[in-house]
Amino acid sequence: MTKRVTVKDVAKQAGLSATTVDRALNGRFKVRPETLRRIAEAAQAVGFHGQRLVEERLREDLPVCKLGFLLLDGAHFSFNRGLGARIEHEVRSLTDARGQAVVRYVPWADAGAIAKRLLELGESVQAIAAICIDHPLVTSAVATLKTQGVPVFSLLSDFAAGVREGYVGLNNRKAGRAGGWFVARMATRPGKVSVMVGSNRFHGHEMREIGFRSLLRERAPHLEVIDTVVNPGSEAAAYDATKALLARYPDLVAINVAGFGPEGVIEAVRESSKAREIILICNEATAESTEALAEEVVTLVIDTPLDPMCRDVVTLMRESLQSSGGQGQHFIQFNLLTPESL
């Protein structure tokens, strides 16, 4: 039978008295943070069952760091809910503070509602990161928060440039060019190419479209990029728009979903007779896009590594509370997923 690890074993490992360790565990007396750290390291080393209690005691003296996050509601719903859960995990994992995440969701198209929610969030948190459209009302709210000492970071899609503290996400122009390069290399016949965005006010979607179009102008003169389709995030609207494209352009070669809501596009292409002929590019490895990738209905997924992005934005938000001058762009390297990389 394995011997049960006791307080004496922890004390011996830490080079402290059993009495000191007992005080630390039970909180009867104030113990210095340096001593608590020694006890926590010793408890982990010997496999002490009360290790979690020591870590909690260690965190009691840390400052509270309350961070706010404003994410999209409705559009790409499952992706944003998953993102919110990962953000909460990263905030809780802060080692130099007791992290508290306040995650809120807002309809993406209502600039007034977004601005109002940003200002409300700023009343209870120390810094904010948000995914939202680039709009004067939003910029005004970010400017107000800046004067109140609440830094705001744009996440995935930039907004309020020159006012916000920083941007964390993909280099969207480069992501667009990567998709364009893929289409240029794979298209074996001349024809039409469609690009879909979620809104003309999403800076990230706009930059992906710019990058995509510029690459095809350079490398694929045999392909014609038709007018951009704006898909407001509705699966039904995306389905209908894709059906219309397939019917109107029999020589359609590729579709690049540069915005959100690929589910309707995927379903329309899957039902068509050209499911294996159309080059279909989507953003983010969701359950739907991954399944379609395995079926080879989707050809390429340009995916954002969420764990490093969440870790980096939380770190930058924490640092912004300690020093200024963090304004700029912090790019995360995207992943390119094909059916054979699953």
pLDDT of residue 297: 97
How far apart, in whole angstroms, are the C-alpha atoms of residue 312 and residue 50?
Answer: 31
What is the pLDDT tens value at each position of the chain, 342 positions in all? Answer: 467 888 888 889 889 888 888 887 776 667 777 787 888 888 888 888 777 777 677 677 788 999 999 998 865 567 887 899 999 999 998 988 899 999 999 988 899 999 999 999 999 999 999 999 999 999 999 999 999 999 999 999 999 999 999 999 999 999 999 999 999 999 999 999 999 999 999 999 999 999 999 999 999 999 999 999 998 778 888 999 999 999 999 999 999 999 877 899 999 999 999 988 999 999 999 999 999 999 999 999 999 999 999 999 999 999 999 876 566 899 999 999 999 998
Are 63 and 50 spatial neighbours (Cβ–Cβ below 8 Å)?
A: no
How far apart, in whole angstroms, are the C-alpha atoms of residue 133 and residue 224?
Answer: 28
Q: Which CATH architecture has domain 64-169+306-331?
A: 3-Layer(aba) Sandwich (3.40)
Q: Which CATH architecture has domain 7-57?
A: Orthogonal Bundle (1.10)
* pTM reported for the whole predicted model: 0.86
Are 43 and 10 spatial neighbours (Cβ–Cβ below 8 Å)?
A: yes
pLDDT of residue 77: 62
- Sign of the CA dihedral 252, 254, 258, 264? positive
pLDDT of residue 1: 46
> Which residues on adjacent β-strands are paired with residue 252?
192
Asked, colleague to colleague, whether 64-169+306-331 and 172-303 share their fold, the answer is yes
Helices 136-147 & 111-122 angle (0-180, nearest 10):
10
Are 265 and 242 spatial neighbours (Cβ–Cβ below 8 Å)?
A: yes
CATH class given for the domain over 172-303: alpha beta
How far apart, in whole angstroms, are the C-alpha atoms of residue 75 and residue 264?
Answer: 12
Domain boundaries, the chain: 7-57, 64-169+306-331, 172-303
Q: Given the structure tokens 């070669």, which residue do they identify?
A: 253
Are 216 and 184 spatial neighbours (Cβ–Cβ below 8 Å)?
A: yes
